[in-house]
Chains A and B, each alone.
Chain A
Amino acid sequence: MNRKEIIEIVNKFLAEDIEVDPAALKEEAFLKEDLGIDSLDFVDIVVVVEQNFEFKIKPEEMSKVKTLSQFYDYIEAKLNAS
């Protein structure tokens, strides 16, 4: 899966499942401050990532992810590692 495909899938579930405003989905956006994703939303992101990419996010790894771009990077790295 290439980065473009990852971005498409992530943006789709953030918009549809987490109901983030699609217009706000910019690479430099901060997940908490700009996209309004709170601690409970992160619990649901673990579920949708598992459903879409078939790996489980580790909370300690996710705590280092601050921006949307870093989130794409994290998923890309996990997929490449597997």
Chain B
Amino acid sequence: MKRVVITGIGIYSCIGTCKEEVREGLYTGRSGIGIDPARTAYGYRSPLTGIVPRPDLKEALTRRQRICLPEEGEYAYMATREALQDAEIDLDYLEKNETGILYGNDSSSKAVIESHEICVEKKDTTLLGSGAIFQSMNSTVTMNLSTIYKLRGINMTISAACASGSHTVGLGAMFIRLGLQDMIVCGGAQETNVLSMASFDGLNAFSLRVDQPQKASRPFDKGRDGLVPSGGAATVILEEYEHAVKRGARIYAEVAGYGFSSNGVHISQPSEEGSAKAMARALTDANLKPSDIDYINAHATSTVLGDAYEAMAIDSVFGEEKTPVSSTKGMTGHECWMAGASEIVYTLLMMRDSFIAPNLNLEEPDENSKKLNIIAKTIDRKLDTCLSNSFGFGGTNSALILRII
């Protein structure tokens, strides 16, 4: 089997719109959460959201490229542009070398809903414009980026709810391990517009701590009352190890293990067993023991049930080791389809700069989280091997292990 490494990262999120801004946000424990008044007007219970600025792409992309890109596609473009630059890959390289793209995305609500509204008003589909179809499909990110960057390898979108971005990196690693691709652009994207999260808000899943937006996302804390939705995009450049060495690429880390599972139980409730199985499988895949893991980037989204089940699962696998754990969602909110990819980027930045980002707003652990070694304030620590969890609706679980080589 070939080895897989990450040679470029890009991030566009509510705590920063490039990797160095995000690194500083992670280190200082900066919250990206705020209020979107349009949500209240639309009928949301909670106006809380990660505040992500829209990029201005007028100079960067042609009209045709821009009108086919939905909001999450714009974020994905920004993250991918940064990741390719970071990996020192340009358009000339991509034209001469087969490169793939796998990206996590599980909705593109705005274009779908706006198209419906135009049809209701005008009764004529020819007035929807040429970009609507390309913005509406779940695969919008991969169809747009593959065209913009002239990619000619594997090209598809992975939809696996809030584990989409993580499975994408795991599946990309499988393609490279098997020798089918030398390089794959992997990532996850998430829209944040008012139309995108209404039905999720309707599940009463979002925090109502409206008077303290930056304290609303509090993973593992006893006082948590729901997640805060957020978004943006994150990209990593996966590359076959020998290929990366041959071209003199800087290597962030190896994708050493990928574990997956499905709970097979409830559509929205998590499971200790399923989460633990994904982590254990990732350890087996990487040929590592729990004691080899220096840090766990938890999925914990700040929901009552989800955090409790993950705490139980981490305790069941890592209990004796008291492995340091933090959920970066205290700062970022829940980046949903993007989260599995962004948390790989966050973890890689911590590994690169030897620190553990804080589990923001952990003031009092509950009966499950107090069994864990949760890092509430930033600590400087050399990290060689880290695990990142991602779980999603429908009981889909993914765990990835990154190792410095």
Contact = CB atoms under 8 A, between A and B. Distances in A.
Interface string B286-308: 00000000000000000000000
Interface stretch (B30-38, B123-131, B219-227, B260-268): B123-131
Contacts of A56: 124, 126-127
Interface residues of A, number: 11
Interface in A41-73: 41, 43-44, 46-47, 50, 56, 59
Nearest to B124: A56
Contacts of A18: 63
Contacts of B67: 44
Interface string A17-56: 0110000000000000000000011011011001000001
B246 interface: no
A40 B127 contact: no
B153 to A, nearest CB: 25
Most buried by B among A41, A43, A50, A59: A43
Contacts, number: 25
Contacts of A50: 127
B64 interface: yes
**Which of B124, B126, B131 has the most chain A CB atoms inside 10 A of its CB?**
B126
Nearest to A40: B130
Contacts of B128: 47
B63 A47 contact: no
B57 to A, nearest CB: 13
Interface of A: 18-19, 40-41, 43-44, 46-47, 50, 56, 59
19 contacts: A18-B63, A19-B62, A40-B64, A41-B64, A43-B126, A43-B129, A43-B130, A44-B129, A44-B130, A46-B126, A46-B127, A47-B126, A47-B127, A47-B128, A47-B129, A50-B127, A56-B126, A56-B127, A59-B126
